Structure formats: structure tokens, C-alpha cells
């Protein structure tokens, strides 16, 4: 993926989420809506290091992760509108985006709940001799959960091909890392389980990409799982209901000086790969993509209520796709 | 040939491993130790450590790993030592295994089998003796099986593995040593209840570890001239309404025997369904024999008093029979 393409994807995520927030204000989108604005470099840099066939397991702040893995903006937007055309048929919403075709396995809204599943996906590949990497994304809040510790231990014990990718945005909802972890050195904590671990600047898409490429290479070499901490920051509130009482406006402003999009735009300008016209063209392009997705979602269909109890168990017409 | 429920389950696991290389088993002490209840004894030597996987004491991680492996097309058998320990994995069972198909709009199936022991009677007190299968039966998205006979220990596993959805098998620990003859014929489908003893006067509905007590109670009642139909539910989710309802419509009286606690239990669900479906057929209120509402005590006499017994089943049946028709 070229640097320009990575920038475009960051712009797409940013625009998509800004629009989602507007639509939330208009009550077109409901439920919880967690934006990753400010953290786009992580989604893009991580995905750029992966093959299309790799597995991704994610969290409830996953719009960006889904988009970078190839889930269409229209399918994600339709999902948030609760439409049949949504990537989870309208059954999941913002927190539960799934797309098996792109090996995007959700969308897990239980903090830490995706880690054991990622270990299992990797175990299946290990048992069948399939060369594939499973990336599990989670926030630093998950590192206080038992499931983190159980899963990292198990994956390391069994040498499974997993990259545990921690998006450390410093706040578990409203609880600062320093208020919830006795040891705030996340790399040190993870390394205690005997796996390779390092951190990267999560506001710099190239740094994320490099750190992730190294991780994937290590995993593919059969050296077992890797832990990578991406140091990032969420510019927006935790969800749409968060008055942000737990952090100062100055702190947020300070981090916004490190906006991952501005950083990349600046670099590309210096390198002569982007000018004003080029940036405008990219912005117009993602704007068109997002608006087309919104229009499609507006015009989407609602699943008939008669089908309410579908998808609880397999039925004859519904093969397990795996 | 006579066989124990333990050996029947081991043979079921063996045959599943032989028949399908997608099948593997994992759990605590299932390999080198041979299984806490010796169900998996010898399987490590026969199938090797890749397919008989000893896990750390990490219920959430290895149950969740079973979910992930099943999603990816494997057919894992996960063993949890006891139902009380399964609570450490409840996030994975409820929030993932039971939910992923729906949450993904039907894209993901979790063909996972989780086996665990359940039930009291061994003086193991309040963290190893409960019967929470009724709790699990509350959850849409999973199936709950409760084998009570050597045939079901031998023949429920394969259909559970063939099922595209997660299946939980609750094995009452007191049954592992129980012996019986394996029958030749095909087993009934796993979601069907079976009449274990035919009678015209009253319907006794039970499952799992309470079946033998209930059959024994029926024999005692027969000596008093009361002929009981004994229904073995075999599956708590789905419930085979047709079978027990037909019996109740015939006998007009029902007593439910359930080792779970009475409040908010599977026995309460059965009673409600009978009332909804056969109210005008009843000649007596639906009776229930359940465990006392107390964490399981250690002392032998107290534990016995807490659990359903043959005499308490007989007493409940007599009470139902005492009502005027």
C-alpha cells in the first residue's frame, strides 16, 4: 500500500466517522457509537502489513478496522442504520461489524472478549498447517481483564500465529491508564508471558506500518505470537454520551497537534507527492464514497419483523460458512 | 456387554477423533493426568498432544479458543472439569458462542461441543456440586443435552459434533460409574425426550442424574398401585414439548424432578409450559421435586437432605395422586 493510499484510507475513516456522528445527531444511527477519530493511523498501518487472507478480530471501536479490511463503507453505514444490507444484516450495529468474506470476525463489545476467539482462529490454522496471521485488536483497558492474560499465555504456550495489537489511547472509557494499572508499562507486562513485545507511535501511520510488518514477519517465521502496543489518542468522546469530565481540553488540544492525517499530509507535501489540488481531490473522493454510502443506507431495506428469530440457530437454508 | 457411562463417553470421543480430523479435544488435565474423571484416560497416548490438548487453568481462554477454532471450521470438544468452573468461561459461552451467529447476521457458525460434569452427591460442597444446566438452557443460541443412560453417553456426542451450533453436554458425575447394556438399535434424535417407563396414572418428568432415582420411585409407586410414566427429557434446550405434553394429557398429573434449585429453574419452565399447554387436562397441580435453596452443604446428611431423593419423589407423586379427579 502506497503512502498516498494510506493517507486516502485515513481520510476515508475520518470522513466516514464525522458523518456518522452527524447522523447520530439526526437519530438515523442509534445505540452506542464509538469513534476512532485520532486513531486512524493504527487501523491503516496495521492493515497495510497484512495479507487479504489474514484474520482480524476487533473491538466495539471498529469502523476503521472494518473499512481498512475491505468491508464496504456502504455495508458498514447500512449496518449502523440497522438495514438488511448492513454487513451484519442489521443484527449487530456499530459495535458488531462482521464480514466473513474479508475474514473480519467482529466487532466484540465485551472488553477482552475477542482475545480467546483470536487464539482459537490461530489454533485452527496451526492444526491444519495453514500459513495465516490472526491479528487481535484491543484497547489498553483489556489488559486489566483476565481474558488478556489467559489468552496471551495460551497463545505463547502453543506458539500460535497471533499478533496481539493493543491500541493504547490512554483511557478505558473514562479511566486513565494511570488510575487502573499498577504497572503502566504495557510492553513489559506483555513480555512477562515470554513473547516478543514492542511499541510504536500510533499517531504515525508509517511507524505503525513498520512495527506491524515486523510483528507479522516474526509470526510468519513461526516464532510464536507478538504483542505490539500502538500509542495513540482518541480525539472524540468515548461514545456519544460522554461529557469528557476525566480529561482536560488542553490535553486533547495537545494531542490534536499530532493528528495522524496532518502528519502524513505534511510529509507527502515535503516529498513533493501531494499538493493542495491533490489533497482536495482525495478529500472529494472520500466524500463521494461516504455520501454514496449514506444514500444507500437511507434507501436500504428493513428486514421484515416476521424474520425476527432468524440467525439464532442454523437452519437448512443456511450453511455454516467457514 | 455391560459398560459404564465413563467408558461409553470415552468410546464416543475416540470414535469421533478417528472419524474426523477436524475433531480435537482440549481442557484441564485431560491428557497427562487422564481426565479428572478419567473419561479421557488413554486418549493422549492414542491421539497425541495436538489433538488431546492439556490447557492451562484458563477456562475463558480455552473455551474461547474452542469458539474461534469452531468458527474456523474445526470441531473442538472442550471439557470443563465441573459446571461451577464453567462460570469462569461464561463470557465466551454466552457473549460469543451463543451470540455470534445472530450478531453476524448468520455469517458465523460455532460448531463447538462443551462437555462438563454437573450435580451433587459426592460431598464436594458448594463450589463443585451444583446443577446449572437449567441456567444454561435459558440461553438462545446454544443447545443443552443431559444424558442419563449409557446409550446416551455413547451416542449423543457425534450428533452434537455434527450440529452446526454450540452444544453443551452436562454429565452428572455420579453417572460415570453407572453401568448398563448398550443397545443395538439407533438412538433417538438428541432433541427428543424418551419414555423410560410407561404408566397411565402420573407423569414423572426428569433428566440426567435424577433419572435413576425417578425410575426407582416409580417402582415403589407401582407397588402401591400407582403406574407412573417416566419421561427422560435428554435435552433441556430445545425442550421436546410434544413428548411430555402427550403423557400429561394422558395421565392428567405431573411431577417434575430436577436437581437444580427450584426458583427460576427448568422445572419452573416445564411447569409453566404444562399449565399453558394442558391446563384443562390437569387433575392436580403440577408438582416439583428440586434441590433445597441452599448452596450445597458438605455434611453427608445435609447434602442428602438438599438433593431430590427417591422418597421425596414418591411423596410428591402421592400428593398429586391424592387430588380428586
Amino acid A241: pLDDT:
86
pLDDT in tens, B195-228: 999 999 999 999 999 999 999 999 999 999 999 9
Query: CA nearest B165: which of B71, B95, B88?
Result: B71
Q: How far is B228 from chain A (nearest CA, A)?
A: 35
Q: Is A100 an interface residue toward B (CB < 8 Å)? A: yes
Contact A74, A83 (CB under 8 A): no
The strand pair at B143-145 and B235-237 is best described as antiparallel
Q: How would you label B119-137 residue by residue, b for 16+ Cβ within 10 Å and e otherwise?
A: bbbeebeeebbbbbbbbbb
Q: Which of B63, B64, B105 sits opposite A311 (nearest CB)?
A: B105
**CB neighbours of residue A275 within 10 Å:** 11
Q: Which domain holds residue B212?
A: 194-322
B262 vs B291: CA distance, rounded Å? 7
First to last CA, chain A: 28
Q: How far is B87 from chain A (nearest CA, A)?
A: 13
Length of chain A, in residues: 322
Residue A322: inside a domain:
no
Residue B6: inside a domain:
yes
Residue B186: inside a domain:
no
Contact A107, A58 (CB under 8 A): yes
Cell numbers at residue B132, please?
446449572
User: DSSP code of A89?
Assistant: T
Q: Is A88 an interface residue toward B (CB < 8 Å)? A: yes
- Nearest residue on chain B to A110, alpha-carbon basis: B95
Cell numbers at residue B264, please?
427460576
Domain shared by B216 and B295, yes or no: yes
Q: Which of A88, A119, A157 sits opposite B105 (nearest CB)?
A: A88
The domain spanning residue B169 has which CATH number? Answer: 3.40.50.970
Residue B255: inside a domain:
yes
Amino acid B325: pLDDT:
65
Q: Is A161 an interface residue toward B (CB < 8 Å)? A: no
Q: Given an 8 Å threshold on Cβ–Cβ distance, is B141 in contact with A113? A: no
Amino acid B186: pLDDT:
87
Domain shared by B29 and B166, yes or no: yes
The domain spanning residue A223 has which CATH number? Answer: 3.40.50.970
Residue A27: inside a domain:
yes
- φ, ψ at B49 (rounded to 5°): -75, -15
Amino acid B1: pLDDT:
79
Domain total in chain B: 2
Q: Given an 8 Å threshold on Cβ–Cβ distance, is B64 in contact with A115? A: yes
Length of chain B, in residues: 325
Residue B70: inside a domain:
yes
Query: CA nearest B30: which of B71, B66, B70, B68?
Result: B66
Domain shared by B220 and B256, yes or no: yes
The H or E element containing residue B290 is strand B287-291
Amino acid A317: pLDDT:
46
B189 vs B199: CA distance, rounded Å? 23
Residue B133: inside a domain:
yes
B106 vs A243: CA distance, rounded Å? 36
Q: Given an 8 Å threshold on Cβ–Cβ distance, is A98 in contact with B73? A: no
Residue A311: inside a domain:
no
Q: Which domain holds residue A277?
A: 3-299
Q: Is A146 an interface residue toward B (CB < 8 Å)? A: yes
Name the burial class of residue A101, with classes exposed (0-12), middle (13-18) and buried (19+) by CB atoms within 10 angstroms of its CB: exposed
Residue A159: inside a domain:
yes
The strand pairing partners of A14, in sequence order, are none
- φ, ψ at A274 (rounded to 5°): -150, 135
CA atoms within 13 A on the CB side of B194: 18
The strand pairing partners of A163, in sequence order, are A135, A226
Q: Given an 8 Å threshold on Cβ–Cβ distance, is B68 in contact with A107? A: no
Residue A318: inside a domain:
no
Domain shared by B284 and B242, yes or no: yes
Q: Which of A119, A128, A320 sits opposite B68 (nearest CB)?
A: A119
Q: Given an 8 Å threshold on Cβ–Cβ distance, is B103 in contact with A147? A: no
Tell me how far CA of residue B149 lies from CA of A89, A266, B62, B136, B179, in angstroms.
42, 73, 28, 21, 9
Of B59, B171, B269, B303, the active-site residue reads B59
The domain boundary, picked from B154, B181, B208, lies at B181
A305 vs A309: CA distance, rounded Å? 9
Q: Is B101 an interface residue toward A (CB < 8 Å)? A: yes
B55 vs A213: CA distance, rounded Å? 30
Q: Given an 8 Å threshold on Cβ–Cβ distance, is A310 in contact with B106? A: yes
Domain shared by B145 and B202, yes or no: no
Q: Given an 8 Å threshold on Cβ–Cβ distance, is B72 in contact with A124? A: yes
Q: Given an 8 Å threshold on Cβ–Cβ distance, is A147 in contact with B108? A: no
Of B79, B128, B133, B269, the active-site residue reads B128
pLDDT in tens, A145-188: 999 999 999 999 999 999 999 999 999 999 999 999 999 999 99
Q: How far is A73 from chain B (nearest CA, A)?
A: 17
Chain A from 101 to 130: CB within 8 A of any B CB: 105-108, 110, 112-113, 115-125, 127-128
The domain boundary, picked from B139, B157, B181, lies at B181
Tell me how far CA of residue B78 lies from CA of A120, B29, B86, in angstroms.
12, 12, 11
Q: Which of B55, B56, B103 sits opposite A98 (nearest CB)?
A: B103
Residue segments in chain A with a per-residue pLDDT below the cut of 70? 316-322
Domain shared by B148 and B203, yes or no: no
Q: Given an 8 Å threshold on Cβ–Cβ distance, is A116 in contact with B71? A: no
Q: How far is A145 from chain B (nearest CA, A)?
A: 11
A41 vs A38: CA distance, rounded Å? 8
Pick from A121, A320, A321 the residue to mutate for testing the B interface (most B CBs within 10 Å): A320
Residues of A in contact with B56 (CB under 8 A): 150, 153-154, 157
Amino acid B185: pLDDT:
83
Strand A226-231's sheet: what is its strand order? A104-107, A55-58, A134-139, A162-168, A226-231, A196-201
Q: Given an 8 Å threshold on Cβ–Cβ distance, is A154 in contact with B58? A: yes
Domain total in chain A: 1
Residue B112: inside a domain:
yes
With H, G, I as helix, E, B as strand and everything else as coil, classify residue B206. Answer: strand
Contact B35, B131 (CB under 8 A): no
Q: Given an 8 Å threshold on Cβ–Cβ distance, is A115 in contact with B61? A: yes
The strand pair at B75-82 and B52-54 is best described as unpaired
Residue A315: inside a domain:
no
Whether B28 is catalytic is: no
The domain boundary, picked from B132, B150, B181, lies at B181
- φ, ψ at B232 (rounded to 5°): -100, 110
Q: How far is A165 from chain B (nearest CA, A)?
A: 17
B207 vs B168: CA distance, rounded Å? 15
Residue segments in chain B with a per-residue pLDDT below the cut of 70? 325
Amino acid B323: pLDDT:
79
Phi-psi region of B119 (alpha: psi -120 to 50; beta: other; left: phi over 0): left
The H or E element containing residue A226 is strand A226-231
Whether B128 is catalytic is: yes
The domain spanning residue B303 has which CATH number? Answer: 3.40.50.920
Domain shared by B148 and B251, yes or no: no
Residues of B in contact with A31 (CB under 8 A): none
Q: Which of A127, A150, A158 sits opposite B24 (nearest CB)?
A: A127
Crossing angle between the packed helical segments A146-157 and A114-128, to the nearest 10 degrees: 10
Residue A190: inside a domain:
yes
Phi-psi region of B221 (alpha: psi -120 to 50; beta: other; left: phi over 0): alpha
Q: Which of A55, A86, A116 sits opposite B65 (nearest CB)?
A: A116
A211 vs A163: CA distance, rounded Å? 11
Domain shared by B177 and B217, yes or no: no
Nearest-5° Cα angle at B82, A125 to B88: 65
The H or E element containing residue A5 is helix A3-25
Pick from B21, B51, B71 the residue to mutate for testing the A interface (most A CBs within 10 Å): B71
Q: Is B65 an interface residue toward A (CB < 8 Å)? A: yes
Amino acid at each position: 500500500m502506497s503512502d498516498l493510499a494510506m493517507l486516502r484510507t485515513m481520510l476515508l475513516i475520518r470522513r466516514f466517522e464525522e458523518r456518522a456522528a452527524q447522523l447520530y445527531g439526526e437519530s438515523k444511527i442509534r445505540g452506542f457509537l464509538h469513534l476512532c477519530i485520532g486513531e486512524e493511523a493504527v487501523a491503516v498501518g496495521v492493515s497495510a502489513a497484512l495479507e487479504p487472507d489474514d484474520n482480524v478480530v476487533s473491538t466495539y471501536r471498529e469502523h476503521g478496522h472494518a473499512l481498512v479490511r475491505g468491508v464496504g463503507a456502504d455495508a458498514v453505514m447500512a449496518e449502523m442504520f440497522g438495514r438488511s444490507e448492513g454487513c451484519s444484516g442489521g443484527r449487530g450495529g456499530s459495535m458488531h461489524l462482521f464480514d466473513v468474506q474479508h475474514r473480519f470476525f467482529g466487532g466484540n463489545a465485551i472488553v477482552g472478549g475477542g482475545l480467546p476467539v483470536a487464539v482459537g482462529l490461530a489454533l485452527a490454522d496451526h492444526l491444519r498447517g495453514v500459513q495465516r496471521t490472526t491479528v487481535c485488536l484491543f484497547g489498553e483497558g483489556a489488559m486489566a481483564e483476565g481474558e488478556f492474560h489467559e489468552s496471551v499465555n495460551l497463545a505463547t504456550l502453543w506458539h500460535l500465529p497471533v499478533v496481539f495489537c493493543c491500541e493504547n489511547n490512554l483511557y478505558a472509557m473514562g479511566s486513565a491508564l494511570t488510575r487502573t494499572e499498577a504497572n503502566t508499562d504495557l510492553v513489559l507486562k506483555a513480555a512477562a508471558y515470554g513473547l516478543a513485545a514492542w511499541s510504536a507511535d500510533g499517531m504515525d501511520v508509517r511507524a505503525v506500518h513498520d512495527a506491524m510488518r515486523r510483528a507479522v514477519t516474526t509470526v510468519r517465521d513461526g516464532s510464536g505470537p507478538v504483542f505490539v502496543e500502538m500509542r495513540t489518542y482518541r480525539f472524540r468522546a468515548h461514545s456519544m454520551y460522554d461529557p469528557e469530565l476525566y480529561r482536560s481540553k488542553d490535553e486533547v488540544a495537545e494531542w490534536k497537534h499530532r493528528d495522524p492525517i496532518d502528519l502524513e499530509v505534511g510529509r507527502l507535501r515535503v516529498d513533493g507527492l501531494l499538493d493542495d489540488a491533490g489533497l482536495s481531490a482525495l478529500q472529494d473522493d472520500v466524500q463521494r464514497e461516504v455520501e454514496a454510502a449514506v444514500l444507500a443506507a437511507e434507501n436500504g431495506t428493513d428486514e421484515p419483523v416476521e424474520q425476527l428469530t432468524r440467525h439464532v440457530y442454523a437452519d437448512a437454508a443456511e450453511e455454516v460458512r467457514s | 456387554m455391560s459398560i459404564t457411562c465413563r467408558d461409553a463417553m470415552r468410546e464416543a470421543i475416540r470414535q469421533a477423533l478417528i472419524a474426523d480430523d477436524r475433531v480435537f479435544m482440549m481442557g484441564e488435565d485431560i491428557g497427562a493426568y487422564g481426565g479428572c474423571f478419567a473419561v479421557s484416560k488413554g486418549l493422549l497416548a492414542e491421539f497425541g498432544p495436538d489433538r488431546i490438548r492439556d490447557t492451562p487453568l484458563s477456562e475463558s481462554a480455552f473455551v474461547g479458543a474452542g469458539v474461534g477454532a469452531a468458527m474456523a471450521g474445526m470441531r473442538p470438544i472442550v471439557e470443563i472439569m465441573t459446571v461451577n468452573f464453567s462460570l469462569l468461561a461464561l463470557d465466551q459461552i454466552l457473549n460469543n458462542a451463543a451470540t455470534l451467529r445472530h450478531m453476524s447476521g448468520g455469517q458465523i457458525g460455532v460448531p463447538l461441543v462443551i462437555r462438563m460434569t454437573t450435580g451433587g452427591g459426592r460431598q464436594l460442597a458448594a463450589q463443585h456440586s451444583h446443577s446449572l444446566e437449567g441456567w444454561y438452557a435459558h440461553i438462545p443460541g446454544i443447545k443443552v443435552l443431559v444424558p442419563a443412560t449409557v446409550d446416551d453417553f455413547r451416542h449423543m456426542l457425534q450428533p452434537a459434533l455434527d450440529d452446526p451450533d454450540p452444544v453443551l453436554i452436562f454429565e452428572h458425575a455420579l453417572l460415570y460409574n453407572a453401568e448398563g447394556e448398550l443397545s443395538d438399535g439407533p438412538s433417538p434424535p438428541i432433541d427428543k425426550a424418551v419414555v423410560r417407563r410407561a404408566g397411565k396414572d402420573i407423569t414423572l418428568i426428569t433428566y440426567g442424574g435424577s433419572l435413576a432415582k425417578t425410575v426407582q420411585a416409580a417402582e415403589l409407586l407401582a407397588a402401591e398401585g400407582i403406574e407412573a410414566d417416566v419421561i427422560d427429557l435428554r435435552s433441556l434446550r430445545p425442550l421436546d414439548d410434544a413428548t411430555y405434553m402427550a403423557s400429561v394429557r394422558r395421565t392428567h398429573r405431573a411431577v417434575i424432578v430436577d436437581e437444580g434449585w427450584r426458583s427460576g429453574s427448568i422445572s419452573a419452565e416445564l411447569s409453566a409450559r404444562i399449565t399453558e399447554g394442558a391446563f384443562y387436562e390437569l387433575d392436580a397441580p403440577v408438582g416439583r421435586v428440586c434441590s433445597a435453596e441452599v448452596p450445597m452443604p458438605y455434611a453427608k446428611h445435609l447434602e442428602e437432605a438438599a438433593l431430590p431423593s427417591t422418597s421425596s419423589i414418591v411423596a410428591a407423586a402421592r400428593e398429586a395422586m391424592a387430588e380428586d379427579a
